[in-house]
Amino acid sequence: MSVMSNILAFPACAVPTYAVPVPAAAAHAAAPLRRPAVLIRAAVAGQALWRRERDLRRVLGSDSTPAPGRALLRLREDEERLNTARLDGAADYDMRRHVLLLVAILAETRRAAQPDVRPDSRPVSRLRGLG
């Protein structure tokens, strides 16, 4: 058995970053997020499994789910702290939480951009007695 390092070495090259657009309706989101492509791809992939009622409360550590758009400021602040830890190479940087926050930011941004979002809306059946 050979001894292998648990450190991955990558050639020195620029890491592509992508900007995540944030709607102008959110005043606190004046600048788009610029993060490495791998974080954005992971966050986009995580959208498929995101369930707002379940996951947003867990991410925020809250008992109730805030109205659409109300959680963005806190999510952005938490994500900014994690991004700073990532850039500083901090030992306590949590990549899973960082991706989860980015998933939440993308989902909440989309939801805040939708006009008249009602969380309790259900499709209405055209046939009586089937809805």
In the structure encoding, which two tokens stand for residue 70, read together? 């109300």
Q: Residue 4 falls within a domain, yes or no?
A: no
- On whether residue 15 sits in a domain, the answer given is no
Residue 125 domain flag: no
Q: Is 24 within a domain?
A: no
- How far apart are the C-alpha atoms of 64 and 83, rounded to whole Å? 26
Q: What total of structural domains would you count in the chain? A: 1
Closest CA to 130 of 104, 119, 122, 70: 122
On whether residue 14 sits in a domain, the answer given is no
Q: What is the mean pLDDT of the chain?
A: 77
**Within a domain: 1:** no
Its domain, for residue 74, covers: 32-112
Which pairs with CB-CB distance under 8 Å and at least 24 residues apart come from 94-99? 98/39, 99/39, 99/42, 99/43, 99/46
Q: How many CA atoms lie within 13 A of 123 on its CB side?
A: 4
Global pTM value:
0.66
Residue range 3-47, pLDDT digits in tens: 545 444 445 545 455 555 544 444 445 568 889 999 999 999 999
